[in-house]
Every structure is written in C-alpha cells, then in structure tokens.
Amino acid sequence: MEIAVPTIDAEKFLNKTEGWEEECKEAARSLHEFGIVILKDPRVNEDDNNTYCELVEKYFAHTGEKFYEGGEENVEDAHKEIHYQVGATPEYREKARNHCDRFAHYDDDNKPVSECPPVFDAKWRFFWNVGERPADRKPEHANVVPKEFPTWTATMDKWGGMMMDSVYIIAKMAAVGMDLPEDTFYDRMQLGNHLLAPTGSDLRRYEQGTVFAGVHYDLNFLTIHGKSPFPGLYIWVRDGRKCSVKVPTGCLILQAGIQFERITGGYIMAGFHEVIYTEKTKKVVEDRLAANPEEPIWRVSSTLFSHMRYDVSLKPLDELKEKWNEGAEQKYEDVKAYD
C-alpha cells in the first residue's frame, strides 16, 4: 500500500513565515507516525540531485565493468583491508542484521520480500566523509578520490553539504515540534561522523524480486536521500504496516535511525525499510532501454547518514518523558553515540 506522507516546507521555517510552528509540529508528527519526513527545501533543487546521481551512476558503471571483468583486485577504490570504511564497497559485501523473529508473525501483505535469514545485498556503495570532526577524532583514513572523475571531490562535497543543511533543518523543526529548544538535536550533531554513502545496483544484471537492501533500520540519527528515478523503497510505519513511498519531484526523504529512537525514548522509532527490484522498477528499466539500448542503467540512491557526535549520550531526554514508550528507561540505557 502507498501512504500519504505530508510534505514539509522548509521555507516556512527558514523565513519564519506564517504557519512555521505548525509546520514543525507536522514534521515531528510525520517522524512519530511514519518514521520518515518528506522535505521540500528551496536550497536544494532537482538539477542538483540529477547532477550528483548522474556522476555516481557513471562511476558505478565504470567501476562495475572493471569488477565484472577482473574481480575486486581490479577495483583500486575498494579497500577490503580497512573493511571498506572509505571508497567503494562492491556488491554482495553488505548484509542486514537478522530480524526474522520480528517479522515471523506478520501477514503476507506486511512481510518483507527480503529473504530470511538475510542474504548479501545486490548493491554497491561508496563511503565519503562529510564535514569536520573533533580534533582528536579525525577520520583514520582519507577519502578516496576516483582518478577518472575530476569533478568527484567538488560534487561530493557540494551534495554532502546540501544534504547536511537539510538534515539540520529537520533536526531543528522536529525539536520545535516536540516542544524542545530548537538546537536540542542540532547541537548534538555538530562534528558528528556524517557519511555520504551513495549506493548503486546494475539493473541490467538483475531480475524482478532481487534484494538491493535487505530489511533493516539505520544505526545513525537521520538518513537522507534525494528522489530516485527507480521505485522499490518500502518502509514499515509505527503500526506495523508495510508501505511504498513516493517522493514528489524536487523533494527529499529523511528516515529516523536508532540514535533518534534512543534519545526520544521511542517517541520517534527507527524505521525499518528495504529496497527491492519491483515490477514498477522493471517498467522504468524497459522504458529506458527502449529509448537507448546501450545505456548503462544503475539504480542510484543519494544516501547520507547523519550522526550524533561520538560523545553524546543517547539516554532518553527527560524533557520528553511524557512521550517515552512504556519501559523506555529500561530499554534505552545510557550509551554514547560512538558505542
């Protein structure tokens, strides 16, 4: 089923125009009920998203060709020796945690398509550190810059910066919407381990039903994506329903991670989601092949993972005690974001 998620207008908050406080409450409500926010940010346009996705698609197509011809040793941007902390991660290297018990009793309409136990995902990834870090917590490994793509650094830094600006807006709006000081979450995110982490899947190589991302929740605070030209994202909302998500043109989608769940005592829940090669995905692929049979076709997700700073306590905020889930104090012990 498809759900009607409200579109949050960042411009009202940015300019504090009429209705901005109500817009903040709507952002908080959307995160509470659906685990996601659809955001219209006037500072980010569809051309920026397309430029970024086109570059990443070309990279994955180029690098994938070398990988399929000669294996991982033929991909100089992949660093298995450091567990792919930066640079490229080839397909079938990432696997979701096992959530079989959780979904065992869901009815067929709301079960994941992902196999149980989970299998490795048919997707590539590229990790790129975004923003500054504390002086004593600099990234252990420098960002990897693909030598065949001279605009890589500028494009990644620009898109990463824009995505972080949009995340910060929702962090502030959600705080206001929950009757907290505006900078409650924003301050805790400063110097966080933010990662631009686009994924890519070669749609020429796979068939309908392929799992590109097995059912999982994210380990960070807020995850943000631009609109993908290919459908296939499914989420589970608070009441357990599985829903497809349609992101309007020119908008962004943000998903709550486990850090958000912990610090709000479960008022905001980490959203389970999966990405599948669906019948609708196949239709888009067929249309593109009909227009250009030789064109590389990769499903790219312009993902960015935003985090709380490493030393921030994720103990549920006392100010939200009336909103905590029952048993939150026992379930969400006092741990640091790093842990």
Distance between CA atoms of residues 77 and 64, nearest Å: 11
Q: pLDDT tens across 270-303, in order? A: 999 999 999 999 999 999 999 998 888 999 999 9
pLDDT at 135 (0 to 100): 92
What is the predicted pLDDT for the residue at 241? Answer: 95
Q: Which of 80, 104, 82, 106 is nearest to 93 (CA)?
A: 80
- Mark 158-194 as b/e (b = at least 16 C-beta within 10 Å): ebbebbbebbbbbbbbbbbbbebeeebbbebbebbbb
| Distances, alpha carbon 15 to alpha carbons 19, 149, 165, 260, in Å | 11, 38, 15, 26
Q: What pLDDT is recorded for position 30?
A: 97
Residue 322: burial class (beta carbons within 10 Å; 0-12, 13-18, 19+): exposed
- Please give the structure tokens belonging to residue 88: 């490229």
pLDDT of residue 246: 84
Dihedral of the alpha carbons of 178, 180, 186, 187, in degrees to the nearest 10: -160
Give SS3 for 336.
strand
* The pLDDT of residue 228: 86
| Sites in the chain below the pLDDT cut of 50 | none
pLDDT of residue 276: 95
- Structure confidence at residue 294 (pLDDT): 86
Interatomic CA distance for residues 117 and 115, integer angstroms: 6
Distances (CA, A) of 167 to 39, 53, 326: 10, 19, 28
How far apart, in whole angstroms, are the C-alpha atoms of residue 7 and residue 317? Answer: 27
For 7-331, the fitting CATH number among 3.10.20.30, 2.60.120.330, 3.40.50.720, 1.10.287.3510 is: 2.60.120.330
Q: Hey, where are the domains in the chain? A: 7-331
pLDDT value for 112: 96
**Contact criterion met (CB below 8 Å) for 42 and 48:** no
Cβ–Cβ < 8 Å for 96, 214: yes
Residue 150 bridge partners (DSSP)? none
Phi, psi of 299 (to 5 degrees): -85, 110
Rounded Cα–Cα distance for residues 294 and 34 (Å): 39
Q: What is the pLDDT of residues 58-100, one digit of tens each?
A: 999 999 999 999 999 999 999 999 999 999 999 999 999 999 9
Q: What is the pLDDT of residue 278?
A: 94
